[in-house]
Amino acid sequence: MELDIKTAQTDETCVMTLGGEVDVYTAPRLKEALVAEIEAGCARVVVDLEEVEFIDSSGLGVLVGGLRRAKERDGTIRLVCTRDNILKIFRITGLDKVFAIFSTLEEAREF
């Protein structure tokens, strides 16, 4: 399955909406898009995972790397996710303590 990435910028916040699967095959595209947004000056990023059906360790690694890069620029990455199968992966890996995870895009955009 493919990974669909849509980006939009409002004020100083970039919203990346993902759909499909984030795995070893699609993670490089996500990394490229995430790095491009942060390097372009958007240190506050919201990643919407509502349409993501699957994420593996390579996808998680890209998000962690993006978070580090954003923090170097005094920014952050926030996630939007309500899908139980995706949230379970964040809980199992302890990344639910690393990322701020919100139920709605509106909540995540309130910095």
For 75, the 3-state DSSP assignment is coil
User: Which residues have C-beta within 8 Å of that of residue 24, sequence separation ≥ 6?
Assistant: 56, 58
Calpha distance 14→73 (Å, rounded): 14
pTM (global) more than 0.85: yes
**Helix extents (H) in 40-111:** 57-72, 84-93, 105-108
- Model confidence at 106, pLDDT cuts 50, 70, 90, reads very high
pLDDT digit string, tens, across residues 18-74: 999 999 999 999 999 999 999 999 989 999 999 999 999 999 999 999 999 999 999
CATH superfamily of this structure's domain 3-108: STAS domain (3.30.750.24)
